[in-house]
Amino acid sequence: MKSDAPETLLPQVERGPSARLPTPHGEFELETWQDHGSGTEHLVIRKGELAGAQGVLVRVHSECLTGDLLGSLRCDCGPQLELALARIQQAGQGAVIYMRGHEGRGIGLAQKLRAYALQDQGLDTVDANLALGHPVDARRYEAAAAILQALGVASIRLMSNNPLKLLALREHGIEVVERESHQTDAQTHNAAYLATKRERLGHLLEGDAPAAAPVAETAEAGI
């Protein structure tokens, strides 16, 4: 998988064990991938033959325990993951690259909870991270690119609203032939969070969000 971007040094990744993964959306293959540079173990949830395939639906999904596992309404992470699986099942081919170590845009779970407390005092997700001395977004995508290359995918259609994620993958040698909108329904609990994504982080979100819930119920420091 190549793009016209300059070559970048990618970490060495190694495929680990895999198993059949039946889900409410359909049956997938779940694989572990070890990043030998950072020691982080990522996941790939895939369907169909990907080696040599063109225009494969791909979601590079940042780990969000509160949204993905606990169903937090402060963000849209869980619904985006569910939507990605549903879209891949419908297409009959695709992959979710589940990036562990990306919690809270890369600041970690404990710091994300500290950011929550600041958000409950009125800061948005950007200012909460900055107030804690962290970057606005500390995530990196070299491992995701290395995994996609190791899978042998020729080109991808990226399910994402984040243009910087698309740019990062292209800079790391991934041919992204299309960015596909990946938007879920907004609700009062994540209205402020989505507005921050759109207005301060440049995410390409459409439509008007509903009125925000009280500050104590808004805004996720996630993806």
Catalytically active residues are 137, 139
176 bridge partner residues? 156
Alpha-carbon dihedral angle through residues 17, 182, 90, 174, given to the nearest 10 degrees: -50
Nearest to 76 by CA among 198, 215, 170: 198
Residue 204 CB partners (closer than 8 Å, separation 6+): 161, 162, 163, 179, 181, 198
**Rounded Cα–Cα distance for residues 189 and 72 (Å):** 9
Nearest to 169 by CA among 80, 60, 44, 34: 60
Contact present, 174 and 145 (Cβ < 8 Å): yes
Main-chain phi, psi angles of 38, to 5 degrees: -100, -15
**Rounded Cα–Cα distance for residues 218 and 214 (Å):** 7
